[in-house]
Amino acid sequence: MLYFQSLAADLGEGTQRLNETTKTGENTLSTTSPSGQTKIRMELGAMKRDFDEYRSMLIEAQDDLERCLGRWNEFEDSYNQFNSWLKETETFLRSDLDLKSSLDEKKKHWEQYQVGFRD
């Protein structure tokens, strides 16, 4: 993530350099032959398109990374909830069953055990 933040911070510098290059290229057009002017304009256009594509790809990659990090956090939360439930269930299921003297007590205890098992 820090890498993407660093690249995003460099976008401002890249934009500034592209603007300076474009300005310098346009200033040289008046002293350049027509074929040279065409070539300079083509190169400046290609540099702008490449930089715009790079910027778009960087923003898209950063959005993807943030989305993945969000999903990872959701996974960790779900994992922790499941792990907690599992430990509680294991503790409940491993607890000793108290011996009951009457059939009604045994039924109630069995119902409590089933309810705990379903949770």
* pTM confidence score: 0.63
Interval 19-67: pLDDT, tens: 999 999 999 999 999 999 999 999 999 999 999 999 999 889 889 999 9
On whether the CB atoms of residues 29 and 18 are closer than 8 A, the answer is: no
> Would you state the structure tokens that stand for residue 19, as one six-digit string?
């603007």
Q: How far apart are alpha carbons 48 and 45 in whole angstroms? A: 5
CA dihedral 10, 13, 18, 24 (to 10 degrees): -160
pLDDT value of residue 20: 96
Computed over every residue of the chain, the mean pLDDT equals 87
Q: How confident is the model at residue 98 (pLDDT cuts 50, 70, 90)?
A: low
Helices (H), the chain: 2-28, 34-94, 103-118
Q: How far apart are alpha carbons 91 and 85 in whole angstroms? A: 10
